[in-house]
Amino acid sequence: MEKTLDMKDLKAIKIELTRFMMAYKFALDEMTTKINILKDEFNYIHDYNPIEHVKTRLKSPESIFRKVQRKGLDFNLDTMKENIKDIAGIRITCSFISDIYEISSMIANQKDIRILEYKDYIKNPKPNGYQSLHMIVEIPIFMSDREELTCVEIQIRTIAMDFWASLEHKIYYKYNKAVPQKMLDELKTTAEMATMLDNKMENLHKEIKKMKLADEAEDMRLPIGIGNNKLKLLETFMEEKLGIK
């Protein structure tokens, strides 16, 4: 004989589902704070911000349930948590390829973050030309009565990679995934063009960094009171970056 749910049971289910979704929202908030700190550190210390955009996404319960159904999983929260790792997602768009690896390394080195999965689709692009760095990380979220270890999917890519991926997604959506082979070939070609652009911009970035380092080395050799020496650089930094005069 099937057990019928009373109001008390329904309320308990609602609370658990709310807690389940809140943990992923808090994980996104936590990761966003960490990324913003990295951005500020780059601005203050290096006078350069490698992060162009940050976008967060939290799957809806309906989307989660559809994925559970596609995977043939049981409809319970423990199963969902164990098998669906992209409920919370963050996409970081960078200026250059080297920025991607620097940011991913900084994230991985955070003491309270554990890397569960690392997929480099930049060095090993997907057959259709897709490129991005994917990480599944696990971070602790402290609730009022428990600690939740929560997964967040992080995608890090350049502007060119993001532009290509966005248009590719729109084309697949328009054709309901049945894209003609000619267009698939064109998409692969445009992905290769985006890679060429990224590589050229990366080379320019490296050359500019060399010039900047050479200029800074020259300034450091100047005696106190002449040109942009160490004291002047420190004064400018304190005034412009930290607001200290």
The one catalytic residue among 30, 41, 148, 153: 153
Pairing of strands 133-142, 114-120: antiparallel
CA angle (229, 231, 234) in 5-degree steps: 110
186 in active site: no
| DSSP category for residue 175 | T
Q: DSSP string of 102-139? A: HHHHHHHT-TT-EEEEEEETTTS--TT----EEEEEEE
Phi (first) and psi of residue 115, to 5 degrees = -85, 120
Phi (first) and psi of residue 143, to 5 degrees = -90, 180
Q: Crossing angle of helices 7-41/97-108, nearest 10°?
A: 120
C-beta separation of 136 from 151 below 8 A: yes
Catalytic residue positions?
Answer: 153
